[in-house]
A and B are shown apart, each in its own frame.
Chain A
């Protein structure tokens, strides 16, 4: 994808807005170049590049709204989109709760774009994979993904809001499998910058876990001390975000915060903020409605402080949008917290493990879900590195276990925090409910295991 840049991307949007036959209108454009190279059995099996443009226009007539999306930025196509959206609005019914389009406010400059990352070639992606495959010990095989994503977002409306932000994202993961055992080990790097990827380090970390993962035994269900690595914590934060951090969820009584703002909902050591201005979480400084993102303290030392809002949920709550409107085609309305930072600590991985008398180490989860959203309960099975810890040392490899527990109960038991790292949950690593988390590994006093997979 050729980066259009601020002026070239905003120009057709401004031009199209001039002729809108509606009372108000806005347009959000998301352009994306995704280059993904996948490998398995230490061999590349898929290598794809796609350039996409998504333009979403909203036309407002009175308090009725029509929405049309197109993937063309041709002025004639955008004009037609606005005309169609206006027709839809006229044929629709007014929404008395319509909050209006965003008014201009200062928007911070974007800071999550790295030119060298955007210029990464297919050859470079293949070379990273080659390095991983060459670095793992004989008898092991590797699978995974190398990904470069370049995006441009732009918003403009009839109230003179205009903003633009490019981002880059570099990602490399390796799942190392043993030929001899059923074992597997996993590691990944995620960064705004291509120089944040370290193929040799990924291979070494994944291979080390794979080598440990042999002669698995099944764990008896029950409560255990546990160390959750960053990816596992990110998985739990995803559940917390999707079920409890939106303004509409809180208002409708579906969130763990509903009726509990200002109350202690979990332990002192848990603090969570959403900071859409922090480039470390590949953040864009405005939302799809054109509202600047504001840092929001969600939970502070265990106390529920408040959710994030889009314009509609903010109006319903009698407050201001925090700049957390998200694409309605992908996310539920009412505010989406997607740039999470969880307070960390200074414990090293070895110190976390050493603090466990008898418990488990969880590397990551697979296909999690929430049987009780209001309690932020998550269930999911572990994968690619689940180990028994005894007297501060890893002593056995475990068959994957099913974990089922309220995130609030889990975080109430935090005893140690490690250093933060950028991570995504299993779903978000593939673009579904995409949430970036700056997240620490944690040691907790109690994690509830409800079942075990076969060895």
Chain B
């Protein structure tokens, strides 16, 4: 019989057990040391890399701004010269928008979301890693252009025809188009995985109405990325095809239209402002209640305003084009929508003010930045309403007034909250506190410098100074304003320097922070700081919107392994998968280990990007094939593969692993990715109809250049393949895997026949994409269909092989389920294309 233990012995044993538990978790989750750390996929280090890289890009973009302010400080200066000035303002905007703002906000989201929802990682950790490397390499490629003296110089919005071959014959525009598209892979990847992580990985019991408000903001941001970025990706692809392959999309002769670029750019560009603002506002809505020491006032109202903002912001894009000759009524539609967006912004501002009003506010350093945000952003919002009025917009179009407004909105709406967030979560990252004195100096220098620079710039603009002009004559009334703006710019730079010194120093000299130093309510503070690699040793049930205020024992009980999934003997990285609405857990998600494959894939993509820049097309093709192979390898070691989560005998004792279900995160990831893909396709359709109706030289042949009968036959084969596949999957989800392998081979065969026929139609078609916009769009459409059909066939063939190897079957139905939406999508775009590109023109009397 065991002797009863005394309390101290029992405590010691508990500590031993706890320590062993953490060691075991660390063994499975920790990042490798040395250079092998490049293979890390865990969300915490990957998010930190995004953050640090983004800050470096911010400093580079800031130096560009300082050079421009030096040039403009006095009239008639020739320090930079027009060519370099053009490159600098183009690169400043590009770097700040694409390489700083979005990646840094994504970094916040990637770092915080799993921790806030009580998960151990994001849904697709390898995608995070791939995203980081695409961002890094794309950014380096883009920035290298300025050091080679061939940076893009057509403005960050790259308007055609200025950015086309005739007016920008060098490589500058190509750097922009290819580099930005490369970087956007990262944004789209992050968007997809954040959506899935927020909806499907929340702690048990965390319903939608208990989700931290930050998650709502990030959910909206991510969906906006999913729908907002593809139009620009399509525009970039089309412009690059026009520049390098001589196709016609934006050149008027041949049936293109330069305004199509503006539409595609601003379909992305205006939501982009809100993609940047929403997560920053999410930081405000998270921090402000902590320092007001009360829950956020009007949680449901804020959720409502986030959703409203997410939608309405897509209806504003034409307000950037009020001067291009659009009918007044159409302008009125967009003017009304532009004013409407002030409503959700105001709801949030009033919710924040009410929270401050009814709380007991502690004015710590992060709070100082929040107050700065409220002041600056409200001013930017007011000038935004002014710009939404068409007559005023015409008056100040392309003047420094617009530059000032844009900086008030973007710096006020993004940088101030980000600085607040940085100071708020620094103790979480480092376990130390920054210097309050240095921080306050940094804030005031930045705040005063910012307003000196940009408040005055409104006046400069109202006095008529155009933007993007590298110099100006003395005596126009702009001299003193520009001088003071430049002085303000340098004061702001001093503030940034002070903040960087503070942050860097705090890692070495900062005072040790206690656990949860701000007395916050959200779950990320329930873990030790700096955080461990697995976030939580055990996963708690959450039934409150403010878990650490309502369940303070979580600070100790999670670490002690008192909650669910506190086991690691299987050596797998696991976290819960839950219902999107109720948060009720339904399965266990097994996450992939560290891997070099994301790095390899991004390297091969970099080869594609560089070889396209240098126009070495065979190398680009080789890089594409290599990327495809790496991605196939990535997908192969998955599910029940021995390298992932092979079937075991005791599976029935636990919740099922996601690869044993028909509803895992991969399915949601596929659907979200297809939403982005569908947006790209709809943008192509928009381009087709736009050119057809608007382009003054649109020429359509009398007869369709595509062979109708083979095209129809190809469609019928695809339809048969998809219907058969659908039937197989439906049976599989009912546990019936009879004939699965042979069925998948039949689908692969039908798909291959369809692909071959479609390829034949393409090769035989007498298309002349170098002369006609009509044929250029048709070519892109056919290539798009071929790409999808080809990918579906290869992936289906691999599934058949995996059935043979036992990685897919009655107990392992997951992968064919994930592939099903892709097949359905391929079928849908085929028939929509057939209707829009073939049938409709025929019925309209011209193909």
A and B co-occur in one complex? no
A interface residues with partner B (beta carbon < 8 Å): none
